[in-house]
Amino acid sequence: MRYYFEQFEFDANSLTLKHNQQTIAIRHNEALLLKLLLENNQSVVSKDTILSEVWQGKVVSEQAVFQNISHLRSLFGGNAIKTFAKRGYQWQLTFQCQNAESPIQPVNVPSTAQQTRAQNKTHWRLIAFIAVLLIGFVSYFSSVFSVNKESKPQVAIVPFTFTNMAEQEVPIHQLTFKVNELKNISAQQYEATQILSYQSLKQSHPLILSGSFWRSEKQVHLDFLLKGLSGDWQGQMSGTTIEQLTKNLAAHLQQPFILEMVTKPLSPEVKQARLSIAHQESPKDLLVLNRLVDTYITMEQYDTAMTLADKLEQLAIEENNPQQLGNALLFQSSILTNKEIFELSNHKLMNAQKAFEAIKDDRRLADTYNARSWLDHQNSDYNAIKKHLLLSAKHALAVNDIERELHALTYLSVLAHKHKRHDDKYLYLQQAESKMDGYKLPQYHYAKIPFHHAIYSNSPAQREPHLKQVLTYTEHTPNHWVAQSSRRQLLDYYISSGRLNLASELVNPLDTTTPENTLLKARLAKELKQQEQYQTYGKQAFEQAQLAGKRSLSLDIALLMCDEPDKQINYDFYFRYIEEHATEYWSRRNQQKLHAINIQ
């Protein structure tokens, strides 16, 4: 039997698929699944039936069904296959069929209304996508116009640092900004206390530029960071002199979209559109391409990210730029690790290490060794973990990078715990705390110490005092990740132990400016049977997480909204969102909950 639909032709006998007469690749199991759905288009096909008919007795997880459904949707459109919660899947597109001895027969799917609604959703998504692009274009050209008309922005500059080279005067007059030098704070102090320092400075100095120069055998290099109220812009440059680098930095930062991205709150989609436009206009600007790759990784769009990282690698090779070559390889490794292709990821890291060693880039070498430790963990090789994280700390120390050094030591403590090396886990956590004392760091840095002790505790009751201490240490930095994680764990414990009074004391004082906080309020309202507040906070949290580009958090919220089907909640929307966006890691972490709502 042959099936024809929307320029596709599918031969159910040979399991081949064509589009516009051209054969396209389709996996064997996907072809079997497509055949099953087409042959049973008048009914909903259950997951059990799919597993039985497609995999024929082989032991596979229900995640395999979801992955194959997702790939078919990517081929034929999101409206091609409809999910029926806790029942299964049904083909939705009208098609014609023909066997060898009969003419083509049209076949209509049973639920035209459902198909129309699905098509309407597709139309709205297309409109939304076009709107995002239009916003990006309008934003770009309006920003160009406004920058040309307005006076130059004022930028405060933290004194630049110099590693392995004599300190020199930086010709900051070349920068196309109104410059204000911050002479009462050192670069190291600013970097180590950036969260609090920027909070105290942002009212009078909303834009702050910092940087560090170092020398390799043939070139001078610059690491810079421009921080604004809504984000930051950072990168690395190489040249022959400090004067040349400063001039190049001035030319780079005068691009209007950069100022817009650090000063205006933009959704990830708009940022992505802005960066795409900038990349199209300057396809060989490797700093823009770096940020574009990073944006796609952050949004977990790994295939596009890999394509762009490959492009970055080729451009870096053409320009003989080992700095950007190393960055490209680091990106590729990160993507491969996320896709759990560990052997190739390690190969990329080893090549990145060579590139960074050639230019003595200790910061990126610290990052490379840190990334290698996770691959060592996958191979259960604790000796390699320890070696690489101590090397990471050593390279960070060489350039006085306190954040990277402390991260290497605390991460080593965690992995020592995972590998049951109890002496080491306390040794390196103690070393990290001693470093904090020596560097005279602000209180929020110390929050990592009780946070790690909570990790090492054997029960929620033992974790509780450590997590409460974390919240004390982060009183002035409540959105720090350790504070957010601690509140979530405490709420879990209070709900599971029936102590809703403590849960209320924890959550009620929180504002709703972050999706993490709003999610906690939704969870508490759900437990208190406050249905209206539960729905309101849940929808608000999902919207906030989407605008912030936090996919895993969006999935967490969608899962919460699927927990109790209610006519006031768009259950099908959240159910479908999980099916289309769940990563393998997130699915494994939430396997039991997903099974309860019949997704796995």
Tell me what the pLDDT averaged over the chain comes to. Answer: 87
Residue 147's pLDDT is what?
A: 41
pLDDT for 471 beyond 70: yes
Neighbours of 266 (CB within 10 A): 20
- Higher-pLDDT residue of 250 and 145 is 250
Residue range 166-185: average pLDDT? 85
pLDDT for 119 beyond 60: no
Using DSSP bridges, classify how beta strands 178-181 and 154-157 pair: parallel, antiparallel or unpaired.
parallel
Residue range 473-497: average pLDDT? 95
Question: Which range is least confidently modeled, 83-87, 118-122, 421-425, 519-523?
Answer: 118-122
pLDDT for 563 beyond 60: yes
* CA nearest to 156, candidates 248, 231, 225: 225
What single-letter DSSP state applies at residue 585?
Answer: H
Residue 420's pLDDT is what?
A: 96
Residue 34's pLDDT is what?
A: 92
Residue 301's pLDDT is what?
A: 84
Question: Which range is least confidently modeled, 32-46, 122-136, 384-398, 404-418?
Answer: 122-136
pLDDT for 125 beyond 60: no
CA–CA distance, 211 with 213 (Å, rounded to integer): 7
Which tens digit of pLDDT belongs to each residue from 430-462?
999 999 999 999 999 999 999 999 999 999 999
Which CATH superfamily includes the segment(s) 151-265?
TolB, N-terminal domain (3.40.50.10070)
Coil, strand or helix: which one is 563?
coil
Residue range 495-519: average pLDDT? 95
Residue range 386-399: average pLDDT? 97
100: pLDDT confidence band, cut at 50, 70 and 90? low
Residue 82 contacts residue 118 (beta carbons within 8 Å): yes
Residue 40 contacts residue 110 (beta carbons within 8 Å): no
Which tens digit of pLDDT belongs to each residue from 50-66?
888 888 867 666 667 87
pTM beyond 0.75: no
Which tens digit of pLDDT belongs to each residue from 287-339?
999 999 999 998 878 889 999 999 999 999 999 999 999 999 999 999 999 98
Residue 269's pLDDT is what?
A: 78
Number of H helices, E strands in the chain: 28, 14
Residue 208's pLDDT is what?
A: 94
Residue 115's pLDDT is what?
A: 44
Which tens digit of pLDDT belongs to each residue from 217-272?
989 999 999 999 988 999 999 999 999 999 999 999 989 899 999 998 887 778 88
Residue 300 contacts residue 583 (beta carbons within 8 Å): yes
Annotation: CATH topology of 2-110: Arc Repressor Mutant, subunit A (1.10.10)
pLDDT for 77 beyond 90: no
Residue 146's pLDDT is what?
A: 43
* Residues whose CB is less than 8 angstroms from the CB of residue 499 and which lie 6 or more positions away in sequence, other chains included: none
Residue 538 contacts residue 532 (beta carbons within 8 Å): no
Q: Which residues pair with 17 in a beta bridge?
A: 10, 24
To the nearest 10°, report the CA torsion of 537, 539, 542, 548: -80
